[in-house]
Amino acid sequence: METVITILSGVLVSISTYMILSRSVIRIILGISIFSHGVHLLLLTMGGLKTGSVPLLGRGAESFTDALPQALILTSIVISFAVTALLLVLAYRVYQELGTDNVYDLRGFKDDL
Amino acid sequence: MIYNLIVIPVILPIIAAIISIFLRRFIKTQRWIAFGVMIINTGISIYILQLIQREGILRIDFGGWEPPFGILYVADSFSMLLVLTTSIVTAICLLFAFSSIGEHREKMFFYPLVSFLVAGVNASFLTGDLFNLYVNFEIMLLASYVLITLGGTKVQLRESIKYVVINVVSSFLLLLSIAYLYGTVGTLNMAHISERIAEAGQTPLLTVISIFFLFVFSLKAGLLLYFWLPGSYSAPPAAVAALFGALLTKVGIYALFRVFTLIFYHDSAITHTLIGIMAALTLIGGSIGAVAYKDVRQIVSYNVIIAVGFILVGLAVGTPEAIEGSIYYLIHDMIVKALLFLIAGIMVVVSGTARIDEMSGLIRNYPLLGWVFFIAMLSLAGIPPLSGFIGKVLVGQGAVETGAYILLALAFLSSIFVLYSLLRVFLNSFWGETIITVEDEMPMKKGWIIPSVILMIGTIGLGLGPEFIAVYVSDAANTLLNPETYINAVMTD
């Protein structure tokens, strides 16, 4: 199970890398969200997937799932939600002000700013 | 030793920010809340520094969860020195912002955002938990994303989208590295990780993970992976740029120091050599950039990169002198880079252009500004009575002792490039024929020049009296070089 999820997160990361390297700002943002999913899945896998029991320690608890990665992912999902929202607003503002969503047109440094 | 006090530098800015959000229309009140908090933080940091001298490293376990189970803050001399410098520099940048940032930015929550930024920076310095470090980075970065776009000019928007995308991607890479490390050692408490790695040995797998961390923090610090830095640091208004230049890259440098002295210090043949190579390339790239551009803000931004390279030469060399030198230089750089960004901002405003070949003879119009720039330039180049000197000497001494002559040569050649790049600015824009007539001359506001003069006094003071902080700096270097001090303070009651 771990192997499958690791491969899945690898696939997600490679897709997102392709999208982040594209020109359109919206694609970059979508790439970032997919990237976050890949990373979150990997984080989940790192704690060990289903070991057959709830994350409760007690007398006679033979197996238990590590609950920490889930707490970490929850935190990280909230952060990535906030960041994605901010990026979308920013992309919209950039489109309004500069009239483009192509990052090639956003290159500066003509030394005459 | 457990003290609740060390959470104050983080909690106070957060409370101030939340209160200021509700006081949106009362700009004056917001100003004094933000400024007052920074002053209080300065006092508290000094007090905690002395407390550390007496009691050893302090910590606070949140919710009573003892390490390694809970999240904790750890205050050692290194982190408190940086918190202290952050508080002072932010207070002075706020003074500058009062008269330069403009009412529309102030009404759009400028002061709460600065407070959040400082809270994130201080929390990153203080935390003893790796995942909490990631969260604190995010607090700091989210505030910086908004600060860099605040105002919404075209240049700001164009540069900020790149800044945000790069930093978001690197944050997820940081999360990825933390995931790998958690999967390998099964803990997130930095002292506990260090203990476990010391017990099990730093296997090649762990070294690979450490290189992950190296690249992530390099992106944040601008070590070799600095391509995003000059553009985004020259876009926002001077007060914000000064805060960014003084604080943000330094948090990355702090993280590099912490991780590579506390956790991954066993295999220094690989990791520290790599840091050395990256520092060398940063010095070269930064030097070329600093002399290549004619935009004063770009030149100043490339000077930030050179300083990053220089500080990390100290880490790569790794002798006690070099680490001490790096800490001195880190403090010096926070002060003097803020000064440099403020002066660049004033120059751009009074001359109406950012290009140094279009400015001329500013020293006749604004003599004091010229002299402050001159002192800042000498200080950055490392001329003796000023604050850059002691750091450079100590890093150089360390490099000579370990025989790292290439790093030594590059580090000191870069000082010449710093001097040349700033001298070029000085000759072009302060000397020469005066082109601003007396009628067109924009009066120098007190609120612009006073913060610059305070920072200038800071750099002179730090240069003349390093003995005042010498105790703390040597304690900080000592803790960095002996990880067991840190581990003992965290893992025992």
Q: Is the pLDDT of residue B229 over 50?
A: yes
Q: What residues in A contact B176, CB-CB < 8 Å?
A: 39, 42-43
CA distance A77 to chain B (A): 11
B354 is written with which tokens?
Answer: 């950012």
Higher pLDDT, B200 or B16: B16
Q: What residues in A contact B157, CB-CB < 8 Å?
A: 90, 93-94, 97-98
> Under an 8 Å CB criterion, which residues of A touch B?
20, 25, 28, 32, 35-36, 39, 42-43, 45-47, 68-69, 72, 75-76, 79-80, 82-83, 86-87, 90-91, 93-94, 97-98, 103, 106, 108-109, 111-113
Tell me what the pLDDT averaged over chain B comes to. 93
Find out whether B52 and B58 touch, Cβ atoms under 8 Å.
Answer: yes
**How many Cβ pairs closer than 8 A exist between chain A and B?**
95
Average pLDDT over residues B291-312: 93
Distance in angstroms (rounded) separating the CA atoms of residues B429 and B323: 37
Distance in angstroms (rounded) separating the CA atoms of residues A29 and A9: 18
Write down the pLDDT at residue B85. Answer: 96
End-to-end CA distance of chain A: 54
CA distance B321 to chain A (A): 39
Contacts of B428 (CB under 8 A, 6+ apart): B356, B357, B359, B360
Among the partner-chain residues A36, A47, A91, the one whose CB lies closest to the CB of B161 is A91
Distance in angstroms (rounded) separating the CA atoms of residues B389 and A54: 59
CA distance B259 to chain A (A): 20
Average pLDDT over residues B450-454: 94
Put simply, the answer to whether B188 touches A68 (Cβ < 8 Å) is: yes
Average pLDDT over residues B222-238: 91
Strand partners, A88: none
Distance in angstroms (rounded) separating the CA atoms of residues A89 and B187: 37
Closest CA to B120 of B130, B108, B133, B106: B133
Q: What is the pLDDT of residues A39-65, one digit of tens each?
A: 999 998 887 776 667 777 777 767 777
* Band of pLDDT at residue A33, cut at 50, 70 and 90: very high
* Band of pLDDT at residue A112, cut at 50, 70 and 90: very low
Q: Is the pLDDT of residue B1 over 80?
A: no
Q: Is B179 on the interface with A (CB under 8 A)?
A: yes
If phi > 0 it is left, if psi is from -120 to 50 it is alpha, else beta; for residue A48 that is left
Q: What is the pLDDT of residues B394-411, one digit of tens each?
A: 999 999 999 999 999 999
Closest CA to A28 of B161, B2, B345, B159: B161
Q: What residues in B contact A80, CB-CB < 8 Å?
A: 172
Find out whether B156 and B235 touch, Cβ atoms under 8 Å.
Answer: yes
Q: Is B154 on the interface with A (CB under 8 A)?
A: yes
Among the partner-chain residues A69, A83, A108, the one whose CB lies closest to the CB of B231 is A108
Chosen from B147, B161, B181 to mutate, greatest number of chain A CBs within 10 A: B161
Please tell me whether residue B295 adopts helix, strand or coil conformation: strand
Average pLDDT over residues B331-342: 95
Q: What residues in B contact A14, CB-CB < 8 Å?
A: none
* Band of pLDDT at residue B195, cut at 50, 70 and 90: very high
Whether the complex's predicted ipTM is more than 0.85 is answered with yes
Among the partner-chain residues B142, B145, B172, the one whose CB lies closest to the CB of A39 is B172
Q: Is the pLDDT of residue A109 over 60?
A: no
Q: Is the pLDDT of residue B377 over 90?
A: yes
Q: What is the pLDDT of residues B112-151, one digit of tens each?
A: 999 999 999 999 999 999 999 999 999 999 999 999 999 8
Write down the pLDDT at residue A52. Answer: 65
Q: What is the pLDDT of residues B343-374, one digit of tens each?
A: 999 999 998 888 888 888 888 889 999 999 99
Residue found under tokens 């703390």? B472
Contacts of B333 (CB under 8 A, 6+ apart): B246, B250, B307, B311
A81 is written with which tokens?
Answer: 């939600």
Among the partner-chain residues B169, B175, B295, the one whose CB lies closest to the CB of A32 is B169
Query: How much is the CA Rg of chain B, to the nearest whole Å?
Result: 21
Average pLDDT over residues B295-301: 92
Give ∠ CA B207-B208-B214 in degrees, rounded to 5.
85
Give ∠ CA B466-B469-B472 in degrees, rounded to 5.
140
Chosen from B169, B184, B188, B355 to mutate, greatest number of chain A CBs within 10 A: B169
Write down the pLDDT at residue B437. Answer: 78
Residue B434: phi and psi, rounded to 5, are -75, 125
Residue B355: phi and psi, rounded to 5, are -85, 130
Distance in angstroms (rounded) separating the CA atoms of residues B76 and B82: 10
Write down the pLDDT at residue B444. Answer: 84
Cα atoms in the Cβ-side hemisphere of radius 13 Å centred on B209: 22
Distances in Å between the Cα of A2 and the Cα atoms of A36, A68, B199, B209 are 18, 17, 27, 19
Give ∠ CA A57-A60-A65 in degrees, rounded to 5.
40
Average pLDDT over residues B243-257: 95
Put simply, the answer to whether B165 touches A43 (Cβ < 8 Å) is: no
Put simply, the answer to whether B354 touches A94 (Cβ < 8 Å) is: no
